[in-house]
Amino acid sequence: MSTAEHIVQAQLDAYNARDLQAFVACYDEQIEVFRPPAAEPVITGIAALAQHYADKRFNLPDLHAELVNRMVIGQKVIDHERVHGVAEHIVEAAAVYEVSGQKITRVWFY
């Protein structure tokens, strides 16, 4: 398992455990989260990331992300996920994680 894949798996495991401290530890202080087609990030910085996940994800009792498929291309990890517990139906999502050093620096959610 590459370093990039290891870091992305660690954040997925922390997400499913709703362990905010372990989850945030996988991200760079200057993390940028994008939701295309918006060109600007919807979340910037570790404090905003932590606040978002504390308020809008880790408080959901049925929250769980199921990894369907993963591709690793250098420092980018592309996950196809089925996310349970954020809506009445299962949400199909693609997440592209960019890793630099030992941290996730950018994420695009589709």
Q: Which residues of 2-24 are buried (b: 16+ CB within 10 A; e: fewer)?
A: eebbebbbebbebbeebebeebb
Structure tokens at 90: 């299962």
Question: What is the tally of structural domains in the chain?
Answer: 1
Domain extent for 90: 3-109
pLDDT above 70 covers a percentage of the chain that reads 100
Structure tokens at 109: 């959610």
* pTM, full prediction: 0.95
CATH code where residue 65 lies: 3.10.450.50
Q: Which residues contact 87 (CB under 8 A, 6 or more apart)?
A: none
pLDDT one-digit tens code per residue, 31-72? 999 999 999 999 999 999 999 999 999 999 999 999 999 999
Does the pLDDT value for residue 1 go beyond 90? no
